């Protein structure tokens, strides 16, 4: 097996910024790129192997070919050729819509899809960068609908100033919005189901507003109020620090200037490696290795014995796998 790199899928959008192209070191003239889908099994937006003997192979074809050796026995039994995670970089020049994602049960009943639990790691933040996550005070479904109708929904939500390294976990049902100036890495369940609640009355170049799903969202929202929606953690130089450990995925942050080996602990899962800073070599203990730089994402197969990191400079990497 190999360590796989995939072609990024770039998404120009009305709220997109100009940071993704230079961050990833791409030779592209595209503008307003709001998203780079790094690893995707979503139909119509499926990742394709970028290099090596299997270049041009789609992610689902790769899974069909290598099965549990690539994704792990339990993952193959549960998901078949559908890859269970979607990994993105997101650059918000303007506020994204306020939205929510349904959980598995509701998404399956309404759309025949998985739900969408996700996490954000803030890679960079412009001056004044912010995002919204969760309700700031007790809110009923009726109060939520009224606030959308009279343009005061933002007043009900927690608004966070953000800086690089901030982490937010967003279980399905949590109302949220990525705010202007935020540049984030997002790891989520494979699902493209989004209920757009409020879009700041924006219009596109043709004068059209985007479709809203205010009523569909009403039953999908978790109205629980928490004292803080930011994930608190203490980074450890040279050792992985767990950021998220949920039923859908686990994600850790590793920062190092020294070579090290990340334990796999019989994970029976592929590992996604997202390089958010620096550069260096990733190896799998089975003879495969590849150089990775800031803004690149790799897929390491489940049959790897270990994941080694040999930094060329200080590196920060996110590693994520499915239990």
d(CA 41, CA 84) in angstroms, rounded, equals: 8
Residue 85: per-residue pLDDT = 98
- Average pLDDT score over residue span 77-97: 97
Position 257 in a domain: yes
Domain check: are 173 and 114 in the same one? yes
Position 132 in a domain: yes
Residue 264: per-residue pLDDT = 82
Whether the pLDDT of residue 202 is over 80: the answer is yes
Position 297 in a domain: yes
Domain check: are 166 and 50 in the same one? yes
The structure tokens 């039994």 sit at 77
d(CA 129, CA 183) in angstroms, rounded, equals: 9
Domain check: are 145 and 249 in the same one? no
Torsion sign, CA atoms 77, 298, 44, 101: positive
- Residue ranges making up the domain that contains 306: 241-321
d(CA 14, CA 123) in angstroms, rounded, equals: 21
pLDDT tens per residue across span 7-60: 999 999 989 999 999 999 999 999 999 999 999 999 999 999 999 999 999 999
Task: Tell me the CATH number at 261.
Answer: 2.60.120.10
Whether the pLDDT of residue 261 is over 90: the answer is yes
This prediction's pTM: 0.96
d(CA 188, CA 88) in angstroms, rounded, equals: 9
Position 194 in a domain: yes
CB neighbour burial string for 160-170, b if at least 16 within 10 angstroms, e if fewer: bebeebbbbbb
CB neighbour burial string for 249-279, b if at least 16 within 10 angstroms, e if fewer: bbbbbbbbeeebebebeebbbbbbbbbbbbb
Q: Is 65 a catalytic residue?
A: no
Question: How many domains does one find in the chain?
Answer: 2
- Average pLDDT score over residue span 129-139: 98
Domain check: are 118 and 174 in the same one? yes
- Average pLDDT score over residue span 188-204: 93
Q: Which of 67, 69, 196, 293 is catalytic?
A: 196
pLDDT tens per residue across span 161-194: 999 999 999 999 999 999 999 999 999 999 989 9
Domain check: are 222 and 254 in the same one? no
Q: Where are the alpha helices (DSSP H) in the chain?
A: 20-24, 59-66, 68-71, 73-79, 104-111, 141-149, 214-220
């Amino acid at each position: 097996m190999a360590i796989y790199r995939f072609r990024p899928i770039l998404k120009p959008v009305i709220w997109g910024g100009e940071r993704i192209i230079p961050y990833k070191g791409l030779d592209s003239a595209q503008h307003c790129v709001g998203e780079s889908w790094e690893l995707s099994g979503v139909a119509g937006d499926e990742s394709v192997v970028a290099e090596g003997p299997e270049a041009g192979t789609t992610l689902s074809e790769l899974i069909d070919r290598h099965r549990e050796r690539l994704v792990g026995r339990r993952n193959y039994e549960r998901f078949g050729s559908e890859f269970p995670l979607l990994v993105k970089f997101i650059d918000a020049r303007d506020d994204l819509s306020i939205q929510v994602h349904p959980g598995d049960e509701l998404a399956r009943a309404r759309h025949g899809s998985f739900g969408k639990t996700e996490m954000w790691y803030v890679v960079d933040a412009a001056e004044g960068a912010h995002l919204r996550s969760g309700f700031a005070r007790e809110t009923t479904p009726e109060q939520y609908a009224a606030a959308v109708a009279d343009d005061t929904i933002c007043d009900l939500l927690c608004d966070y100033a953000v800086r690089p390294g901030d982490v937010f976990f967003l279980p399905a049902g949590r109302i949220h919005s990525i705010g202007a100036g935020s540049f984030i890495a997002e790891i989520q369940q494979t699902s493209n189901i989004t209920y757009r609640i409020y879009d700041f009355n924006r219009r596109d170049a043709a004068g059209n507003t985007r479709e809203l799903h205010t009523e569909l969202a009403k039953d999908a929202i978790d109205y629980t109020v928490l004292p803080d929606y930011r994930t608190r953690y203490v980074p450890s130089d040279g050792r992985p620090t767990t950021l998220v450990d949920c039923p859908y995925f686990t994600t850790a942050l590793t920062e190092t200037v020294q070579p090290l080996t990340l334990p796999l602990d019989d994970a029976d899962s592929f590992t996604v490696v997202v390089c958010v800073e620096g550069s260096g070599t990733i190896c799998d203990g089975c003879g495969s290795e590849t150089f990775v730089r800031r803004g690149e994402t790799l897929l390491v197969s489940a049959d790897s014995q270990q994941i080694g990191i040999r930094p060329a400079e200080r590196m920060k990497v996110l590693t994520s796998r499915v239990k």
